[in-house]
Structures are given as C-alpha cells and as structure tokens.
A = this chain, B = another copy of it.
Amino acid sequence: MKAKVHITLKRGVLDPQGKAVAHSLASLGFAGVTEVRQGKFIEIDLAETDPAKARTKLDEMCRKLLANTVIEDYAIELA
C-alpha cells in the first residue's frame, strides 16, 4: 500500500526557506508572487494492506519521526 504524506509548517510559523524562494523568484523577474511556503512530501510504501491499520501506523510515524508537531502539520493520503 502506497501513502503520501505532506508536512507543512503551521500557519504563523516563519518560513525562511519559502521567503528565500519568493525572493529568488522576484529576482528572476516573476512578478505577482505574494507568498511561498515550502514543506516536505514523503512517499511511503507499506507492506500493510489494511487502510485503517496503515493510517494508524502512518499517524504514529508522523508524530514520532516525520513531523515536528510543535511547528508542523501533517496530512496522510492513502493511494
């Protein structure tokens, strides 16, 4: 079973990496870029075939390793 996990900074948390990208885009002549936020995208292949069990496992993976839940949100999508 394949899963896609998005890890994004919570609203209100400063994103210097996103700011740098926005600044670079402006330097390259791209006008009208009002905000850029950069996050992580993780694709995980699991041996687990039960969607409910897979989701529980992925949720635990996010909380224990993949995301820093103090400043980051995560979203799990099963394919």
A residues sitting closer than 8 Å to B (CB atoms) are: 6-8, 18, 21, 24-25, 28, 30-48, 57, 60-61, 64-66
Contact = CB atoms under 8 A, between A and B. Distances in A.
A37 to B, nearest CB: 4
A42 B38 contact: yes
Give the number of times this chain occurs in the complex, counting copies.
2
A40 B21 CA distance: 13
Contacts of A41: 6-8, 38-41
A7 to B, nearest CB: 8
A7 B7 CA distance: 14
A36 B28 CA distance: 33
The 4 A-B residue pairs whose C-beta atoms are closest, nearest first, are A32-B47, A41-B41, A35-B45, A39-B41
